[in-house]
Structure 1
Amino acid sequence: MPLPTTQTAAIKTGSGDTAKTELQSIPIPQPGPSQILVKINYSGLCASDKSLLRDEWTFSGVTMQPQTHGIVGHEGAGVVVTVGSDVQDLWKEGDRAGIKWIASVCRKCEFCTNGVDECHCPEQVNSGFNIAGTFQEYTLTDARYATRLPDGVKDEEAGPIMCGGVTAYVACKRSAVRPGQWIVLPGAGGGLGHLAVQYAKAMGMRVVAIDGGDAKRDLCLRLGAEQFIDFNTTKDIAAEVKKITKYGTHGVVVTAATKAGYEMAPHLLRPGGTMVCVGIPKDSTVIAGAPPIMMCLRKLNVVGSVVGTLKDVEEALEFTARGLVHPTLTHGGLEDINKLVDDMDAGRLVGRAVIKISAS
């Protein structure tokens, strides 16, 4: 069947807190020699998409670039429909492919060639930031950096793993928590947090989940948390963590992009513990860390974590293929993006939002 010439896309209109997306008909692009064209079946909705749509990171100079044509989205999963002339040995029509936040790297710089740091390639290209993202029916991507989706992983689950899943997985690795040791996850019932609970459990960690309400309690315990702390009813969270773990946890992953979350995190750690920074606040005054005397006397570690390498994504998907990690999904269509963004901003969103892009 020949491809249509036009497609539907969700295009950003307006700016700041009042920015929205509206559905428009746009041309379907043709791949260059090293690209593939992917028909997107599902795309996750990430907090980063919200931040880009609503210009929340302008204080750091991170704003959507004109090359995106107003299209965000970076958790795409679908099927290859056209293959560029130089990469026909890598892909064929009908293959299943995933598109990530990092859509392409140079494969030549020090960070690309050392085997572990390609996420810091200075020439990287990012979906929904400086190229058009996955909130459109057909998306171009670099064939050499697209992810091959494994059997046993549905597109609706694969999409959110392209960013949310791999981010949670890599953050757990960055925590340096070993099997049998404690990790604490504030915001454990959220889009990233509920994935971190599952990865941490599957990696042998003992999970203390922090969130609010009975629904979040039930979710976190069902997903594998050993203990749950309700911030609505617990006056001293740090004291409760120490009561559970005796000396504090070995690691804490801060997924919530809040000042309170970053201020609390170091106080949950035992000596030698590691705080992993993941959530990116829109408030430029938020600082990650603790007073120097606390850092020194308790020998604390503070590390940052951002998405993951091509290999990390493959590993994250394998947990789902093995039946160990499954995103809790709230479904919607392209026409629902504005409502889902509002729900995310208000903390009403359950699990991870996933957008049905194209009819299968």
Structure 2
Amino acid sequence: MATELPETMQGQFLENYNQPYQLRTVPLPKPSHPDDVLIKVDAASYCHTDYVLAQGQMPGFPKSFPHVGCHEFAGTVVSLSDRPSTEAACFNAGARVGVTGRAYHACRECFECQGSKDPIAEDEKGYSVHCTRAENNGISKDGGFAEYAVVDARQLAPIPDELSATETAPLMCAGITIYAALKRCQLQRGDRVAIMGAGGGLGHLGLQYATKMGFKVLGVDAADEPLKLAKSLETGAHIVDARSEKAAKIVQQIGAEDGKRDLEEKGVDAVIILPESQAAFDYGMTLLKSHRKCVIVSFPEAGFHISSRDIVFRDISIIGSLVGSNRMLREMLNFSAEHGVRAVAKSFPLSSLNGLVEDYHKGGGGKLVIDMALDK
């Protein structure tokens, strides 16, 4: 028997840049495209990109105001369009799903959708998270800071029984992003990886994933609360305070532990850059062995200054990483369920989204999540 839906819903709307969110009642959205799925949002996680967007630092986005943010959320399938696609028909009412922001209504036809051969982001032919013609929930179109949302079935991943909605939501951006970045490092068990910004939303998940993958992990941060959080996880990672421990000294310590004599073979096999700080980038590059890989996830407005000597004389490869494919999203969720990877999170009701944002600016590390059940 079909569930009777309300005619309206509540959502938190950005009315303009640099403004607090406004709680408003609006008509319930309806699925109209074959790939559309209407979900009841159960949890919505706040990301640094939500802050960047609200500050007007992503030119052209959102496309219009008022706007509902959040591109990492989880919910329950409510209904499909009248003519569902094959992908949408796979989801029945009541199914619990995780939703990433990318890529709503991927075109099925462009170079990316036809298969760009990226082993990390490549999906089945006809869909790509890199489709330049696609919309993005929470960025170019409305997202998860509302009671209901229309999403693309091809964005969705079934939630394993072991995970709740509030546990799943942070994994839909932070989780898949750091998981994919670790995959791009192309490491073997026993290799060393450094995570710059280890106590942040992505970083503290990265510590858990990396150690569960069998890597030797160095977690680096430069703020008291994130460092405290990173140490509290007890992952076995070596946690470093960049304010008091020089990168060159860490390299020597690692070299001694590994029994290496030459400077070029001392250090870590890969480094992941999460902060937008040039100092964090420089620290991470110093940690790297020659011929190894630096994976950049952050995108500061001014970019990073990169030394040509590192690239030419040390043969360091520098690559970027955005998100993973839907296939990898599902892999990440199952990995998280199996190995007990969870975000350290603090929950707020939808009505207190502005309070969540205030908490975000305190820089405590971990993730902040809207739990829709708290408004009931």
Q: What TM-score results when the alignment is normalised by the length of structure 2?
A: 0.87
1:112 partnered with 2:113 = yes
1:273 partnered with 2:292 = yes
Give 1:319's match in structure 2, choosing from 335, 341, 358.
Answer: 335
Equivalence for 1:78? 75
Going from structure 1 to structure 2, the CA distance change for 1:102 and 1:244 (only over 3 Å counts) comes to same
When the two structures are aligned, how many residues end up with a matched partner?
A: 349
Please tell me whether the aligned partners of residues 192 and 218 of structure 2 are also in contact (alpha carbons under 8 angstroms): yes
Please tell me whether the aligned partners of residues 145 and 350 of structure 2 are also in contact (alpha carbons under 8 angstroms): yes
Equivalence for 1:30? 30
> Equivalent residue of 1:127, what SS?
coil
Please tell me whether the aligned partners of residues 226 and 366 of structure 2 are also in contact (alpha carbons under 8 angstroms): no
Going from structure 1 to structure 2, the CA distance change for 1:127 and 1:206 (only over 3 Å counts) comes to same
Q: What letter corresponds to residue 78 of structure 2 in structure 1?
A: V
Give 2:367's match in structure 1, choosing from 346, 352, 359.
Answer: 352
Pairwise CA distance, 1:33: 4.2
> Equivalent residue of 1:314, what SS?
helix
Give 1:125's match in structure 2, choosing from 118, 121, 135.
Answer: 135
Equivalence for 2:90? 90
Q: Distance in 2 between matches of 1:302 and 1:33?
A: 39
> Equivalent residue of 2:25, what SS?
strand
1:301 partnered with 2:317 = yes
Please tell me whether the aligned partners of residues 71 and 135 of structure 1 are also in contact (alpha carbons under 8 angstroms): yes
Equivalence for 2:194? 184
Please tell me whether the aligned partners of residues 242 and 249 of structure 1 are also in contact (alpha carbons under 8 angstroms): no
> Equivalent residue of 2:240, what SS?
strand
> Equivalent residue of 2:113, what SS?
helix
Pairwise CA distance, 1:250: 0.7
| Partner deviation per Cα, 1:83-102 (whole Å, 9 max, x = no partner) | 22232632211111222110
Pairwise CA distance, 1:335: 2.8
Pairwise CA distance, 1:223: 4.3
Please tell me whether the aligned partners of residues 194 and 223 of structure 1 are also in contact (alpha carbons under 8 angstroms): no
Pairwise CA distance, 1:303: 0.5
Please tell me whether the aligned partners of residues 250 and 269 of structure 1 are also in contact (alpha carbons under 8 angstroms): yes
Pairwise CA distance, 1:38: 0.3
Give 2:171's match in structure 1, choosing from 149, 157, 161.
Answer: 161
Q: What TM-score results when the alignment is normalised by the length of structure 1?
A: 0.90
Please tell me whether the aligned partners of residues 78 and 97 of structure 1 are also in contact (alpha carbons under 8 angstroms): yes
Q: Distance in 1 between matches of 2:241 and 2:200?
A: 14
| Partner deviation per Cα, 1:189-236 (whole Å, 9 max, x = no partner) | 1111001111111111110111243772463463414311112332x2
State the identity as a percent: 28
Pairwise CA distance, 1:128: 1.3
Pairwise CA distance, 1:49: 0.9
RMSD over aligned Cα atoms? 2.1
| Partner deviation per Cα, 1:161-214 (whole Å, 9 max, x = no partner) | 111100010011112222101111121111110011111111111101112437
Q: What letter corresponds to residue 20 of structure 1 in structure 2?
A: P
Equivalence for 1:286? 303
Pairwise CA distance, 1:310: 0.5
> Equivalent residue of 1:216, what SS?
helix
Equivalence for 1:335? 351
Going from structure 1 to structure 2, the CA distance change for 1:294 and 1:112 (only over 3 Å counts) comes to same
> Equivalent residue of 1:25, what SS?
strand
Q: Distance in 2 between matches of 1:80 and 1:170?
A: 26
Q: Distance in 1 between matches of 2:145 and 2:181?
A: 26
Q: Distance in 2 between matches of 1:174 and 1:278?
A: 11
Give 2:159's match in structure 1, choosing from 149, 163, 184.
Answer: 149
> Equivalent residue of 1:113, what SS?
coil
Q: What letter corresponds to residue 309 of structure 1 in structure 2?
A: S
> Equivalent residue of 1:275, what SS?
strand
Going from structure 1 to structure 2, the CA distance change for 1:244 and 1:167 (only over 3 Å counts) comes to same
Going from structure 1 to structure 2, the CA distance change for 1:69 and 1:209 (only over 3 Å counts) comes to same
> Equivalent residue of 2:201, what SS?
coil
Q: What letter corresponds to residue 231 of structure 1 in structure 2?
A: A
Structure 1 unpaired stretches of 5+:
none
Equivalence for 1:65? 63
Pairwise CA distance, 1:268: 1.3
Q: What letter corresponds to residue 355 of structure 1 in structure 2?
A: I
Q: Distance in 1 between matches of 2:355 and 2:52?
A: 15
> Equivalent residue of 2:26, what SS?
strand
Going from structure 1 to structure 2, the CA distance change for 1:265 and 1:297 (only over 3 Å counts) comes to same
Q: Distance in 1 between matches of 2:228 and 2:46?
A: 23
Going from structure 1 to structure 2, the CA distance change for 1:242 and 1:7 (only over 3 Å counts) comes to farther
